[in-house]
Amino acid sequence: MRASKQRTEIRQEQIAQSTLDIIAEQGMPALSVAAVAQRVGIVPSGLYRHYRDKEALIDAALDAIASRHTAGLKAADQPPNRDAVDRLERLFIDHLEMITASVAIPRIVFSRDIHAGHHGRRAKLLKIVNGFLDHIAAIIVQGQREGCLRRDMEPAAAARLFFGLIQPAAFLWNLSDGMMDVKTQAKAAWPLFLRATKAEKGTTR
């Protein structure tokens, strides 16, 4: 029973990854049950054992993105004794790299075809974003306690400011079909965020 469950989980991971690959390479219009089945190497009826239709494939792709996002948050927090500024910088870089590692991610997030008429899907994306913002706000609170971040900031507002560093880069990178140099964007934007949020030495602001 356990081996069968593992095989099912592996197959579902393959299907979700193939869905992302097709979206990345050919865009949303090319996505179909037949196309994903062919890429995985199974017949369409075999795919239907796991996902009932194209919409279910998109949901599986969103779940895969959410899992990678959660894993990225955990990785950015290691080692656990890092100060808040280091954690924020690591998370900033890692998040941009995650987005640019697969063009499918911004294509899914920014695609109206994904959201229109799908309240549950919009709610799922909103949950991912809100979880990210809550995580950032918690790091900012840590930095305020440590004295490395300004104490006159509202953590939730500062978290949205942080998020605003990432989304323009992701949007422009998507519009340019991956031609934009995201690392250059990161190097230019990060010092601006620090100037706005970092506490001055010798003050508690």
In a domain, 65, yes or no: yes
Residue carrying structure tokens 């592996």: 10
The per-residue pLDDT for 2 is 46
In a domain, 152, yes or no: yes
In a domain, 183, yes or no: yes
Range of the domain at 100: 53-197
The per-residue pLDDT for 26 is 84
| Residues of the chain falling short of pLDDT 50 | 1-3, 202-205
123: CATH: 1.10.357.10
- DSSP 8-class letter at 98: H
In a domain, 11, yes or no: no
The per-residue pLDDT for 142 is 93
pTM: 0.79
In a domain, 154, yes or no: yes
In a domain, 205, yes or no: no
In a domain, 115, yes or no: yes
CA–CA distance from 27 to each of 39, 48, 55, 118, 181 (Å)? 15, 22, 15, 19, 21
In a domain, 47, yes or no: no
- As a whole number of angstroms, the longest Cα–Cα distance in the chain is 67
Tell me how many domains the chain contains. Answer: 1
